[in-house]
């Protein structure tokens, strides 16, 4: 692998950028600065992607191992159930055959041939014992059979999940190999290859020790603020328009930015903009610039809400791969849930344009 994935001491952003600039200044005179700078930027971005996709491979590998362990346990449990149900099946079979062959007719005959009330009560007790025992035997077999059937269904489901995970694993491994090959080919023959490798290591080290933590701080603060957003909308009635049974929430970007800054000081250097169906959030702090572009969709499972999807994540101008974006989406819930404003409302439509976020709601049917 081109890039060393081992943890390094925290690298200073200023030092990293200084090294970057020094490298650009030492480019051959014949090279076109703009094109050369773009090429170096692409190399650094690929090295960052290698590191991030490697993390996804580790995560998928761990998921695969968990599934294999679950399947092994399930297979052992099913083996025990098959042994137990074999005995129950024989008992249940004897009960069913007894009724089918008329071997339980004597119970009815006894009940119809009593000579006294006390004898009838005795016969009823006797019949109840027999019938209850038969019912218990059949119910026990039925429960175990259903349990075993559910176990096989779960095992089949896990097997399909394992196939999907294996496909994901191979896909990400192929992506890493392709990126590493590209890096090798692009670095081969370059007189500044060693300096570029050093720069790659500086960038990946800075991202892993400081950059990712900074991104997560923003996402964590956003997730917490979104939980307060329904209450804020309720307090600001001017944001909610009601026409008959149709409700519209309109959130101007300036109002949203003010709300966020009230929630956390981290947003004093961060701002949201809404335009053409996209939401963009960007800011900088401690020589780290974060830019997130995404969109909202209406989701109804597991509950109705407006869910945020990260389309692009830039750190100091370097684009992070889809695996990083997906991991952040899974870790932090940036959704907005209308039923936290009024329990009988659900979201039908969401749009972003001209500096406003518009959410159309209706009554739950």
Give percent of the chain with pLDDT exceeding 90: 49
DSSP 351: E
pLDDT of residue 38: 87
Q: Which residue has the higher pLDDT, 24 or 216?
A: 216
Give the list of residues 6+ apart from residue 174 with CB closer than 8 angstroms, or none: none
pLDDT at 15 over 80: no
**How confident is the model over 150-159, as a mean pLDDT?**
81
Which of 79-93, 227-241, 320-334 has the weakest average pLDDT?
79-93
pLDDT of residue 90: 57
Cα separation, 32 vs 101, whole angstroms: 96
**How confident is the model over 316-345, as a mean pLDDT?**
92
pLDDT of residue 117: 57
359 pLDDT band, cuts 50/70/90, is very high
Q: What is the dihedral of CA 290, 291, 296, 300, to 10 degrees?
A: -30
Q: Which residue has the higher pLDDT, 115 or 315?
A: 315
Contact of 41 with 220, CB cutoff 8 Å = no
Which of 19-28, 313-322, 330-339 has the weakest average pLDDT?
19-28
Q: To 5 degrees, how large is the angle CA 202–CA 204–CA 206?
A: 65
Cα separation, 90 vs 98, whole angstroms: 12
Bridge partner residues of 363 (DSSP): 345
Q: Which residue has the higher pLDDT, 42 or 142?
A: 42
What average pLDDT does the structure give for the chain?
A: 80
pLDDT of residue 23: 44
Per-residue pLDDT reduced to its tens digit, 62-106: 999 988 888 888 888 777 766 666 665 555 555 545 544 554 444
Give the list of residues 6+ apart from residue 208 with CB closer than 8 angstroms, or none: 7, 8, 51
pLDDT at 126 over 70: no
Give the list of residues 6+ apart from residue 195 with CB closer than 8 angstroms, or none: 23, 26
pLDDT of residue 12: 43
**How confident is the model over 41-46, as a mean pLDDT?**
92
Which of 50-54, 82-86, 324-328 has the weakest average pLDDT?
82-86
Which of 53-67, 148-162, 187-201 has the weakest average pLDDT?
148-162
Bridge partner residues of 85 (DSSP): none
Which parts of the chain fold into alpha helices (H)? 13-25, 33-100, 105-112, 117-187, 193-206, 212-235, 253-263, 322-331
pLDDT of residue 152: 79
Burial call 176-192: b when 16+ CB within 10 Å, e when fewer:
beebbeebeebbeeeeb
Cβ count within 10 A of residue 164? 11
pLDDT of residue 155: 81
pLDDT of residue 80: 72
Contact of 337 with 304, CB cutoff 8 Å = yes
pLDDT of residue 291: 96
pLDDT of residue 146: 73
pLDDT at 2 over 80: no
Which of 50-64, 107-121, 260-274, 313-327 has the weakest average pLDDT?
107-121
Q: Which residue has the higher pLDDT, 77 or 136?
A: 77
Cα separation, 164 vs 160, whole angstroms: 6
Strands 305-315 and 318-319: antiparallel
Q: Which residue has the higher pLDDT, 95 or 38?
A: 38
What size, in residues, is the chain? 365
**How confident is the model over 152-157, as a mean pLDDT?**
82
Contact of 148 with 85, CB cutoff 8 Å = yes
Contact of 352 with 296, CB cutoff 8 Å = yes
pLDDT of residue 56: 94
């Amino acid at each position: 692998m081109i890039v060393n994935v081992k943890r390094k001491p925290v690298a200073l952003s200023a030092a990293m950028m200084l090294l970057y600039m020094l490298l650009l200044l030492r480019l051959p005179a014949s090279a076109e600065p703009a094109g050369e700078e773009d090429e170096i930027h692409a190399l650094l971005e690929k090295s960052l992607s290698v590191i991030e996709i490697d993390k996804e491979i580790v995560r998928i590998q761990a998921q695969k191992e968990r599934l294999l362990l679950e399947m092994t346990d399930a297979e052992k449990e099913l083996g025990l159930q098959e042994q137990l149900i074999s005995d129950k099946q024989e008992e249940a079979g004897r009960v069913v055959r007894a009724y089918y062959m008329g071997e339980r007719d004597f119970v009815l005959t006894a009940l119809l041939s009593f000579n006294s009330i006390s004898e009838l009560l005795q016969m009823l007790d006797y019949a109840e014992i027999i019938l209850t025992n038969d019912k218990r035997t059949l119910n026990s077999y039925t429960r175990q059979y259903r349990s075993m059937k559910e176990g096989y269904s779960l095992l089949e489901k896990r097997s399909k999940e394992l196939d999907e995970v294996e496909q994901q694993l191979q896909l990400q491994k192929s992506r890493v190999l392709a990126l590493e090959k590209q890096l090798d080919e692009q670095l081969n023959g370059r007189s500044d290859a060693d300096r570029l490798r050093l720069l790659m290591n500086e960038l990946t080290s800075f991202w892993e020790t400081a950059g990712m933590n900074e991104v997560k701080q923003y996402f964590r603060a956003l997730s917490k603020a979104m939980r307060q957003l329904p209450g804020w909308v309720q307090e600001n009635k001017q944001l909610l328009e009601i026409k008959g049974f149709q409700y519209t929430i309109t959130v101007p970007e300036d109002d949203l930015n003010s709300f966020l800054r009230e929630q956390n000081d981290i947003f004093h250097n961060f701002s949201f903009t809404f335009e053409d169906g996209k939401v963009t959030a960007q800011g900088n702090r401690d020589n780290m610039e974060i830019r997130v572009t995404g969109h909202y969709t209406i989701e109804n499972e597991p509950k109705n809400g407006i869910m945020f999807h990260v389309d692009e994540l830039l750190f100091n101008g370097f684009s992070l791969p889809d695996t990083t974006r997906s991991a952040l989406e899974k870790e932090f819930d940036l959704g907005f849930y209308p039923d936290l404003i009024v329990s009988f409302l659900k979201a039908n439509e969401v749009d972003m344009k001209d500096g406003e976020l518009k959410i159309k709601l209706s009554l739950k049917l």
